[in-house]
């Protein structure tokens, strides 16, 4: 399962980065379209729509990016975050659905749960009771 967790993390990072790139492209194109028209009303409308769309895309992309990085570092919180992100991505047909199903399959396995548990994060740490 260790390999599956790494693959899943890479997929979430890549999917999020692609989303951010698409959002940035939309922001530039819509914002630029208003500027090209030289109409102050068009600039205001297209600028507002561009910022709104970009913000929505970032709201969905950033948790996947953070969760993917957390999974690569084997952080216990990343499992829950990526499970939530995966469930939300189920509605993003067809690629997001596949990624969501794969996320749920990988992250609900007993081996993955023990791999990403908080106990493993503290493994190797020595505590002294004074």
| pLDDT one-digit tens code per residue, 19-48 | 999 999 999 999 888 888 888 898 999 999
Torsion of CA 32, 34, 38, 43, to 10 degrees: -120
Query: Does the residue 7 lie in any domain?
Result: yes
What is the per-residue pLDDT across 88-108, written as a single tens digit (0 to 9) for each? 999 999 999 999 999 999 999
| d(C-alpha 34, C-alpha 25), whole Å | 14
Query: Does the residue 14 lie in any domain?
Result: yes
Domain of residue 79, residue span: 2-118
Position 129 confidence tier, pLDDT thresholds 50, 70, 90: very low
| d(C-alpha 89, C-alpha 125), whole Å | 36
State residue 106's pLDDT score: 94
Query: Does the residue 123 lie in any domain?
Result: no
Q: Give the chain's length.
A: 130
Query: Does the residue 129 lie in any domain?
Result: no
Query: Does the residue 124 lie in any domain?
Result: no
- pLDDT higher than threshold 80 for residue 126: no
Q: Which residue has the higher pLDDT, 7 or 129?
A: 7
Domain count, the chain: 1
């Amino acid at each position: 399962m260790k390999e599956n967790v790494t693959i899943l993390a890479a997929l979430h990072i890549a999917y999020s980065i692609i989303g951010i790139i698409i959002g940035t492209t939309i922001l530039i194109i819509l914002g630029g379209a208003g500027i090209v028209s030289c109409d102050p009303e068009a600039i205001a409308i297209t600028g507002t729509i561009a910022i709104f769309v970009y913000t929505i895309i970032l709201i969905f992309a950033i948790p996947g990016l953070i969760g993917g990085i957390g999974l690569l570092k084997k952080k216990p919180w990343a499992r829950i975050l990526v499970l939530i992100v995966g469930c939300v991505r189920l509605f993003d047909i067809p690629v997001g659905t596949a990624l969501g199903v794969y996320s749920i399959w990988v992250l609900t396995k007993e081996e993955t749960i023990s791999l990403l548990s908080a106990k493993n994060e503290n493994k190797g740490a020595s505590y002294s009771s004074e």
